[in-house]
Amino acid sequence: MHISSFVLLLLFIVLLYGLYRWQRDRDSLAPAVLAGLILGAIFGGILQLSKGWGTMPAEVIPWVQMIGTSYVNLLYLLVMPLVLTSILVAVVKVSHTQALGKISGSVLGVLLCTTAIAALIGVAMAELFGLSAAGLVEGSREAARAEVLYQRIDRVTDLSIPEIITTFVPRNIFLDLTGARSTSVIAVVIFAVLLGLAALAVRREFPQEGAAIERFVHVAQVWIMKLVRLVMAFTPYGVMALVTSLIAKSSLVDIVNLLGFVLASFTAIGLMFVVHGLLLLLNGVNPLHYFNKVWPVLVFAFSSRSSAATIPLNVETQVDQLRTSPAIANFSASFGATIGQNGCAGIYPAMLATMVAVPMGIDVWDPIWLGTLIAVVMISSFGIAGVGGGATFAALVVLPAMGLPVTIAALLISVEPLIDMARTALNVNGAMTAGTLTQRWLGEEVPGPEIVEG
C-alpha cells in the first residue's frame, strides 16, 4: 500500500474512533448518525481531492467499503427473523382476521395512491425542466449498460400480473428465509400470517397449548429485538463508511453533464416528501415532529440505497418513536420495501417515459396518455418485487408497456447512484407514512406497541 493511502486509512480509523468516543456517552443514536453522515461526507471529499495530490484513494476505498458493506449485511441478516417473529406476534395479539385485512388494505392503498401522485410529479418535473432523451450522449459504459438491459427486458415484460402475484406465495419457506427470491420478504409475511392464524386456532381448541405458543413467540420476539438493538448500535459507523464510499466514487463531471436530470429528480423527490407531510398534517400528525423522529432512518436509507436493509430500523422507529403498533409497522415496512415505491417505481419511470415521449411528438398531458401512464406505473409498482432490480426494472416494465424504447435507462447510469440514494429515502418514508396513517385510521382496532426495554 502506498504511504499516502496508509495515512488516509489511518485518518479514517481515527475518525471512527473519535465518533465512537463521542457517541458512547449518549443515549440516542440520532446525533451520532448525523455526525457519521457529516464525517463521511468530509472524508469522502478528502478522498476525492486526494486524486489530484498523487495519492491512491482506490487503495483506501475497499477498506471503507468493508465496514459499510458488513453493516448492511448484518441488517439483511435481521430482516427475515424480524419480519417472521414480529408478524407472528402481531397476528397472535390482534386475534381477529378482520383487523389484519384492514391493515393490509390501508397500507397498500396509501402506497399505491402516493405512487400515482409521484408519477404525476415525475411527469411535471420532466416537462418543467425541459428534459429530453434526444440530448443524451451514449458512451462505452452506457452502451454496455444498454446491452444488459436488452438481455433482461424479455424476462421482465413476459411476466403477467397473475404470474407476478403468484411469486408472492411461498413455496419453500426455508428458501425464502434465505432471501433467495426478490419476493421473499412478502412470502415470509404471508407465511407468518398463516402460522399466526394456525396459532389462534390452536388457542381456541387447546387453550393450554395455545398459551405455550403465545409465550414462545413472545420470547422469540424479545430475543430478536435485542439482536436488532445490538446491530443498530453500529449505525453511525455504517453510515459514515457508506457515505464516504459514495462520495469518493462519485464523478463530478458526470453530475455536471446531467445536471438538469439530477436537479429535476431531486426536486420531484423533495415535492413527494412535501406530499407525505401534507397527508400526515391532514390526518392530525405534526409533520415536523414526524420528520424529527424518522430522519435517522432516512439517513441510513439514503446512504445504503437499500429499502430492504432498512426494514429493521424502519420497524424499530415506527414502534418506539412513532408509537405505531408492531402489526402495522411490520406490514408497512415489509410491503413498502417491495411494493409501491414512490421514488423507484413512481417518479423515475414516469420521468423517463416523459423524456422519451416528448421527442417522439407525444403530448404527455393528453388525459388518455397520462392516465394510462399512471395506471401502468401503479400496476408495475405492485409487481416490481416480482422481477427484482428496483428503479431500472420499473422502467423496463413501464416503458415497453407505453410503447417506448428502454435505451434511456442506460444513458443515465453515471448519475444513478446519486439519485438512487434520495429515491431510496423517499421509498422508506413512503412506507413509514403508510404505517403512520394506518395507525391513525385503525388505532382503536389494533393493539398498541409493547416496548421491549433495551
Report the C-alpha gap between 351 and 124 in whole angstroms: 8
The residue assigned the cell 406465495 is 169
The C-alpha cell that represents 377 in the structure block: 406505473
Q: How many residues does the chain have?
A: 454
Report the C-alpha gap between 71 and 75 in whole angstroms: 6
Report the C-alpha gap between 130 and 359 in whole angstroms: 11
Cβ-contact 79, 185 below 8 angstroms: yes
Cβ-contact 32, 23 below 8 angstroms: yes
For residue 262, give the 3-state DSSP assignment: helix
pLDDT for the residue numbered 447: 55
Residue 267 is which amino acid?
T
The C-alpha cell that represents 77 in the structure block: 441478516
Instruction: Calculate the CA 28 to chain-centre distance.
Output: 23
pLDDT in tens, 374-415: 998 888 777 565 444 567 777 777 888 788 877 776 666 666
- Tens of pLDDT along the chain (454 residues) come to 677 778 888 988 999 988 888 888 777 777 888 888 889 889 988 888 876 665 566 788 888 889 988 988 888 888 888 888 878 887 887 656 677 788 888 999 999 999 999 999 999 999 998 888 765 545 444 444 445 555 555 555 555 667 777 878 888 999 988 887 777 888 888 898 899 889 888 988 999 998 999 899 889 988 988 888 888 888 889 889 988 888 887 766 656 667 788 899 999 999 999 999 999 999 999 999 999 999 989 988 888 878 878 888 898 899 889 999 888 888 898 888 878 889 888 998 899 999 888 888 889 899 999 999 999 888 877 756 544 456 777 777 788 878 887 777 666 666 677 788 889 899 999 999 999 999 999 875 555 554 443 3
pLDDT for the residue numbered 410: 61
User: What b-and-e string marks burial along 27-46, b requiring 16 or more CB atoms within 10 Å of the CB?
Assistant: eebbebbebbbebbbebbeb
pLDDT for the residue numbered 136: 57
For residue 321, give the 3-state DSSP assignment: coil
Q: DSSP string of 244-258?
A: HHHHHH--HHHHHHT
Residue 197: Cβ within 10 Å count: 14
CA angle (418, 374, 397) in 5-degree steps: 65
C-alpha closest to that of 5 among 50, 44, 59:
59
Report the C-alpha gap between 313 and 297 in whole angstroms: 6
Cβ-contact 395, 406 below 8 angstroms: yes
pTM, full prediction: 0.78
For residue 15, give the 3-state DSSP assignment: helix
Alpha helices by DSSP H, 309-407:
311-320, 326-336, 348-357, 367-387, 391-401
pLDDT in tens, 418-449: 788 889 899 999 999 999 999 999 875 555 55
Q: What domains lie within the chain, and their CATH numbers? A: 3-442 (1.10.3860.10)
